[in-house]
């Protein structure tokens, strides 16, 4: 659900609840207050992180960036959603070649705890690649070894790990 839609519905439920409360009493308005409360809580705990993540997976970088930039307080997000917030921010920064920001965000995503082994491996692989590009070869090797421990079955990730290992082996 879009941020504006969620907030509009919460406001609408409060207004309708207040009208019902003053006309007939709390008995007919409490459920509207509860719905508004739930909408507000989900706004702060979940945000639109998964929507941004879905746009990122589809290659719709502009939409993902717009949605993720709407989240003003990522520290309020639940742990899993905060991890994917940092993942999306890191991948967007990586696409813009903003390597320090990308590295920081992707490290935070790994530290916070991504859900799937493929997401963890993809994050580690991108960190290894960034370190390789910046000629920080020992760090790159460490990330490559870490990627192997995640146990991802994604063939593309396995191929990229082999390519990166081959490139590191030539150094």
Per-residue pLDDT at 1: 58
Q: How far is CA 47 from CA 33, 102, 129, in A?
A: 20, 21, 30
> Which residues are within 8 A (CB) of 170 and not within 5 positions of it... i.e. 6 or more apart?
none
**What whole-number distance in Å separates Cα of residue 154 and Cα of residue 124?**
14
Lookup: tokens for 54: 């879905």
Q: Residue 144's closest CA among 70, 91, 159?
A: 159
Q: Residue 148's closest CA among 121, 119, 167?
A: 121
**What whole-number distance in Å separates Cα of residue 102 and Cα of residue 94?**
5
Per-residue pLDDT at 44: 86
Q: Are 10 and 40 in contact (CB under 8 A)?
A: yes
Per-residue pLDDT at 141: 95
Per-residue pLDDT at 171: 78
User: For each of the chain's 171 residues, which pLDDT tens digit applies?
Assistant: 566 888 899 999 999 999 999 999 999 999 999 999 999 998 889 889 999 999 999 999 999 999 999 999 999 999 999 999 999 999 999 999 999 999 999 999 999 999 999 999 999 999 999 999 999 999 999 999 999 999 899 999 999 999 999 999 987
Q: Are 74 and 44 in contact (CB under 8 A)?
A: no
**What whole-number distance in Å separates Cα of residue 80 and Cα of residue 91?**
17
Ramachandran region of residue 131, left (φ > 0), alpha (ψ -120 to 50) or beta? alpha
Which residue do the tokens 């079955």 mark?
153
Model confidence pLDDT, tens digit, residues 26-73: 999 999 999 999 999 988 898 899 999 999 999 999 999 999 999 999
**What whole-number distance in Å separates Cα of residue 171 and Cα of residue 169?**
5
Q: Residue 164's closest CA among 149, 109, 137, 153?
A: 137
């Amino acid at each position: 659900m879009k941020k504006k839609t969620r907030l509009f519905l919460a406001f609408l439920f409060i207004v309708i609840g207040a009208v019902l409360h003053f006309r007939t009493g709390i008995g007919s308005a409490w459920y509207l207050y509860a719905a508004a409360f739930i909408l507000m809580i989900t706004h702060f705990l979940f945000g639109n992180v998964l929507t941004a993540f879905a746009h990122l997976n589809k290659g719709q970088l502009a939409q993902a960036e717009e949605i993720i930039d709407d989240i003003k307080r990522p520290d309020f997000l639940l742990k899993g959603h905060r991890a994917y917030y940092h993942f999306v921010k890191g991948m967007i920064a990586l696409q813009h070649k903003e390597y320090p920001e990308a590295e920081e965000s992707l490290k935070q995503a790994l530290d916070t705890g991504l859900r799937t082994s493929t997401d963890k491996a993809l994050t580690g692989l991108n960190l290894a690649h960034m370190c390789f590009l910046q000629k920080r070869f020992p760090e790159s090797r460490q990330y490559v070894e870490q990627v192997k421990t995640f146990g991802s079955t994604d063939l593309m990730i396995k191929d990229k790990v082999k390519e990166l290992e081959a490139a590191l082996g030539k150094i």
